[in-house]
Amino acid sequence: MLNTNIFHGTLVRLTTEDPETAGKALSGWACDSEYTRLLDKPPALLWSAKKIQSWIENSLEKGFQNGFFFEIRTLQEDRLIGFVNLIWLSWTHGDTWLGIGLGDRAYWGKGYGTDAVRVVLRYAFTELNLRRVTLGVFAYNGRAIRSYEKAGFKVEGRLRQYIARDGQRNDMIVMGVLREEWLPSAV
Amino acid sequence: MDIHTSLYEGRLIRLGPIDHEKDPAIESKWTHDAEYLRLLDTAPARPVSPVEMKKKYEAIEKNIEESKNQFYFTIRLRSDDAEQNDRLVGFARLYEIEWNHGVSQIVLGIGDPRDRRKGYGTDAMNLLLRYAFAELNLFRLSTLIPEYNPGALRLFQKAGFIEEVRRRQALNRDGRFWDLIHVGLLRDEWHGA
């Protein structure tokens, strides 16, 4: 039997937003530099809502970086709290990278991110029928690492001293989950 | 090694610029060898025509000029024989450079199987590492090596690279799954440091 709504988890659902709404949200979240530096490698930057909106519009036409992009809303209050994406997807090898950001820090550490990761893994494994999902996370982001482990990811190694910030160098940890590892814990 | 030591002249080979007239036909020939493509890259193997190769070179130079996050060299023979001298044997590339972290991806390839196992790869690697660490002042280099390419793994390990990550069964080729190995080298670990 088909799962009734694969976009719904227990705390959140995956949505898509108008480029204007998404642009405003993403631009606003980026004003929190801790969020940006936990999230990604490029220098923390403040892009306007208008600029981000135009990127989103562009990717709607051209397709999003060989992958899929969702926003995350809470089920209870229908509040837009973050995004999750699958990028650099390889159909030939059945592998993709996962990225997630909870821009609204009121929702950190409460299981919303883990729930969104679970939903997108189910999407990757049972809708896209991929074989594995990969992600990179910085060693200084312990909360994210624990969340990914809860969702089924295993550490596959560390790119040593990859990230230079605040005068220190930190490893980038690469994690992966295979479909057959994920299946027993799922459904 | 100092300012008088050429960045480009190795023992057997030299790093040179692209020759837009002559190189496309030669590299196009390499891409008709599926083994070469599959050792080098995880993207689906596909032969590339000389015309398309020419466009690829133009795109590379445009990208170097505009985004400045990659460097590209051809690998050419050094020889007293005028016929052999400057003959294209491969390419070497630093790309996806993230200047804020001082990190880059590195790749090199020797195109014709008859030119392999002659030390050209090792020679080019030494030049490329010096360029990366002593000219660009990068901090670390990374590359991805499929499990089925032990030759490349040896080449990089010989240069000091350390296995850091094994992405389990990340590749599917010839009906089976292979790990994708990430190796990395820090400036302090570089033999030329």
pLDDT in tens, A128-137: 999 999 999 9
Please tell me the distance from the alpha carbon of residue A149 to that of residue B164, in angstroms, as a whole number.
19
A contact test, residue of B101, B183, B189 with most A CBs within 10 A: B101
Please tell me the distance from the alpha carbon of residue A25 to that of residue A49, in angstroms, as a whole number.
8
Domains by residue range for chain B, with CATH: 13-138 (3.40.630.30)
Taking contacts as CB-CB distances below 8 angstroms, the residues of chain A near B164 are 157-160
At residue A4, the pLDDT reads 79
Chain B within 8 Å of A132 (Cβ-Cβ)? yes
SS3 A183: helix
Record the tokens describing residue A4, joined without a space. Answer: 């009734």
To the nearest whole angstrom, how far is the Cα of A18 from the nearest Cα of chain B? 30
At residue A63, the pLDDT reads 77
To the nearest whole angstrom, how far is the Cα of B63 from the nearest Cα of chain A? 18
For chain A, give every domain's residue range. Answer: 12-185
Taking contacts as CB-CB distances below 8 angstroms, the residues of chain B near A90 are 42
CB-based contact B170 A163, cutoff 8 Å:
no
Record the tokens describing residue B10, joined without a space. Answer: 């190795």
Nearest by CB to A131, which of B142, B169, B186? B169
At residue A187, the pLDDT reads 53
Q: Answer positive or negative: Cα dihedral of B157, B162, B167, B168.
A: positive
CB-based contact B184 A160, cutoff 8 Å:
yes
Spell out the per-residue pLDDT of chain B, length 193, in tens: 889 999 999 999 999 999 999 999 999 999 999 999 999 999 999 999 999 999 999 999 999 999 889 999 999 999 999 999 999 999 999 999 999 999 999 999 999 999 999 999 999 999 999 999 999 999 999 999 999 999 999 999 999 999 999 999 999 999 999 999 999 999 999 988 6
Please tell me the distance from the alpha carbon of residue A143 to that of residue B65, in angstroms, as a whole number.
40
CB-based contact A164 B139, cutoff 8 Å:
yes
Task: Provide the CATH number for the domain formed by A12-185 in this structure.
Answer: 3.40.630.30
Chain A within 8 Å of B137 (Cβ-Cβ)? no
Q: Are B161 and A160 in contact (CB under 8 A)?
A: no
To the nearest whole angstrom, how far is the Cα of B4 from the nearest Cα of chain A? 32
Neighbours of B9 (CB within 10 A): 13
Neighbours of B168 (CB within 10 A): 18
Q: B166 to chain A: nearest residue by CA?
A: A156
Taking contacts as CB-CB distances below 8 angstroms, the residues of chain B near A159 are 142, 164-165, 182, 184
Q: What is the ipTM of this complex?
A: 0.93
pLDDT in tens, A33-92: 999 999 999 999 999 999 999 999 998 888 777 789 999 999 999 999 999 999 999 999
Position A1 confidence tier, pLDDT thresholds 50, 70, 90? low
Please tell me the distance from the alpha carbon of residue B72 to that of residue B52, in angstroms, as a whole number.
17
User: Has residue A115 got a pLDDT over 90?
Assistant: yes
At residue A186, the pLDDT reads 67
B contact test, residue of A66, A89, A92, A96 with most B CBs within 10 A: A92
Residue B106: name the closest of B147, B141, B134 by CA.
B141
Please tell me the distance from the alpha carbon of residue B157 to that of residue B9, in angstroms, as a whole number.
23
At residue B53, the pLDDT reads 97
pLDDT in tens, A14-23: 999 999 999 9
Please tell me the distance from the alpha carbon of residue B187 to that of residue B102, in angstroms, as a whole number.
10
Chain B within 8 Å of A91 (Cβ-Cβ)? no
